[in-house]
Amino acid sequence: MNNIIDGKKIRNEIIEDLKKQVKHYLIKPCLAVIQIGDDSASNTYIKSKEKACNEIGIYFKHIKFSEDAKEIEVINKILELNHDDYVNGILLQLPLPQKFSADKIINYIARNKDVDGLTDINLGKIFNNKNGMISCTPLGIMKLLERENVDLAGKDVTIVGRSNLVGKPLLGLLLNKDATVTITHSKTKNLKVHTKRADILIVAVGKKHFITKDMVKENAIVIDVGINKEDGKLYGDVDFDQVKEHASLITPVPGGVGPMTVASLMLNVVSAYQKQQK
């Protein structure tokens, strides 16, 4: 039995589906990505977003500011894009250089163009179970579980990590699907007690092989969100080789959640476009 969830395959299916939809649009959707500075990881992520846009037929607009730019210049650019009918999605590439406040800048993005789902309004909508933009990685995880026909109702889910990007939005999304959710973090005592009882374990802490086999329940579903680079190689937060013998389903790193994050961004761009056309 192959218990490895193929994120690349699911990503390609989503991209193909979007390509077919976009082919029929007279005006193509447009994604604007704002970058401040020249972080090498950010450059790589932006290229993968551009590649996905090109595959589908979405216009890609890359707006780059130097580290010396003033916060107000970036905000003014966002306000301009908010009013541009040809731009359907706006994304601020993170992380930002230290002198900038990501939280402040993101909240200037119009909520219907916030394709990263990170404005306070869109995060709040998740917890009220209202239709808003959902952050890309949590949306990707939900899509993976959906494609694998995982019924979340009544399942014990443990999330390791409480970031605004992954842990907190996931908490709301899983509750909306009637899961019983525990969220753990750096101050949690007896972490193993919580991970060991989880039917579904989702790990997003950014520490190589943080989760070992003895921390995982037999036949659990394990979703590894971590990306840790060491000597040019990528590793997850889960000790994959150990844990895969133990899990009923598991995502690899790379090739699991990563490809789904970009696919979810594309879903959000097309969804934003459709709502704006109405």
Instruction: Report d(CA 42, CA 61) in Å as an integer.
Output: 15
Q: Which of 92, 103, 116 is nearest to 42 (CA)?
A: 92
Annotated active-site residue 98? The verdict is no
Provide the sign of the torsion angle of the four alpha carbons 160, 165, 170, 171, taken in this order: positive
Annotated active-site residue 93? The verdict is yes
Find the catalytic residue in 49, 113, 125, 155.
Answer: 49
Q: State the CB neighbour count (10 A cutoff) for residue 27.
A: 11
Chain-centroid distance of CA 53 in Å reads 16
Q: Which of 91, 181, 177, 100 is nearest to 136 (CA)?
A: 91
Chain-centroid distance of CA 129 in Å reads 18
Q: How far is CA 266 from CA 20, 49, 71, in A?
A: 13, 8, 27
Annotated active-site residue 277? The verdict is no
Q: Looking at the DSSP assignment, which residues form a beta bridge with residue 221? A: 200, 249
Instruction: Report d(CA 34, CA 248) in Å as an integer.
Output: 40
Find the catalytic residue in 113, 114, 116, 237.
Answer: 116
Burial of residue 21 (number of CB atoms within 10 Å: 0-12, 13-18, 19+)? middle
Q: Among all residues, which ones are annotated catalytic?
A: 49, 93, 116
